[in-house]
Homo-oligomer: A and B are copies of this chain.
Amino acid sequence: MVSIKDVAEHAGTSFKTVSRVINNDAGVREETRERVQAAIDALGYRPNSAARMMRNQKSGVIGFISDEVVTQPYAGELLLGAQEVASEHDKVLMVVNIEHDRKRQQRAIDMLLERRVEALVYASYYHREIELPQEMLQVPSVLVNCFTTEAVLPTFVPDEVQAGYDATRLLIEQGHTRIGMITLNPQIVAAQKRLEGYRRALDEAGIAFDAELIVRGEPRFDEPAESACVESAVGSLMALDKRPTALVCGKDEFAMQVYFLLARFGLQVGRDLAVTSFDNQRLIAPGLTPGLTTMELPHLEMGRAALRCLFNRMDDRSTRLIPFSPIVRESHRLKA
């Protein structure tokens, strides 16, 4: 590889002068600068970042550890937001997908620390508690879409309670009082907190909570995977004496299935049942008829916020709740 010395020889200067030129340092005669620049272009010289890193003791790299952010639909936005802010600060992300694997996680962290990352981001694709790799305390770090029992790092998570509240409010405002909910696996944070938001919205509106209206759309971690879960959930709601007139779905996939399942009862979303949901999956939500009103997870914004935090050195250990965006289409209101 061509080095600063080769350029110097070609330009007939000392290599230090070349260094000055590539760093735009003052104190180089214009004529010399041009001569050096010509040599750089002629030889196709590129500064060696490894050498720079050694001198400057800075890598310019931020480590991004994710369980499966990259492979999960829409969650990649998180990465996108992070990349955007990083590159504004002339940093690059080094992304490693560890796939929930302990060994890979350790290897990833070792590798990143050996590369002298200036900071670490740990991102989960779904909101959950994690066991913090202790090495993360050695460099400025943030958690995104995940958290630890005791808050030891700046943490950015979606505001699930608010989202549950908003999704329910949209229906209440349309006059509904019998509002069903198809929940996610109750062991995950989103399921619990969104239900909490749902109850808060009912309370506030003076609507009594009815446990019959809460049904599960997916199995618990310890239960066998079951494809018909949403089907039986919808079935049990429809079997009620007083059927719900509106439904909050735990995710857009549930909503999609609801659109289909309703047909069995001669019902239609948007005519007989109002629906809201969570995620705003681009593949599903806009393509349904009527378009699905859904709460979009703030992935992009979490990615951005986390990196801004790193650059602002706000290592205050606090947990920031990032709001969902309501994507209002038609499914939450009924047409006569």
Q: Which A residues are within 8 Å of any B CB, using their own CB? A: 1, 44, 46-51, 53-54, 57, 59, 70-74, 76-77, 79-80, 83, 87, 92-97, 107, 110-111, 113-116, 138, 227, 252-253, 256-257, 259-260, 263, 281-284, 286-289
Contacts and interface: CB of A to CB of B under 8 A. Distances in A.
B70 A114 contact: no
Contact of A114 (B47, B94, B95, B113): B47
Contacts of A92: 94, 96, 111
Contact of A115 (B49, B79, B83, B253): B49
A113 B281 CA distance: 36
Contacts of A227: 286
Given A1-B57, A76-B70, A94-B94, A253 B283 contact: yes
A110 B79 contact: no
Contacts of A57: 1
Contact of A50 (B54, B87, B281): B54
Given A46-B113, A50-B54, A288-B260, A73 B70 contact: no
Given A70-B80, A73-B74, A257-B287, 8 more contacts: A1-B57, A54-B54, A70-B76, A70-B79, A71-B77, A73-B283, A92-B94, A257-B289
A50 B53 CA distance: 6
A284 B286 contact: no
A282 B68 CA distance: 15
A73 B1 CA distance: 39
A113 B46 CA distance: 8
A266 to B, nearest CB: 12
A50 B178 CA distance: 63
A18 B260 CA distance: 67
A47 B54 CA distance: 12
A71 B74 CA distance: 6
A70 B281 CA distance: 15
A47 B115 CA distance: 9
Contacts of A80: 70-71, 97
15 contacts: A46-B110, A48-B54, A49-B114, A50-B50, A54-B54, A70-B76, A71-B77, A71-B80, A72-B76, A92-B94, A93-B95, A95-B95, A227-B286, A263-B263, A283-B283
Nearest to A259: B260
Contact of A260 (B74, B94, B289): B289
A48 B259 contact: no
Contacts of A138: 44
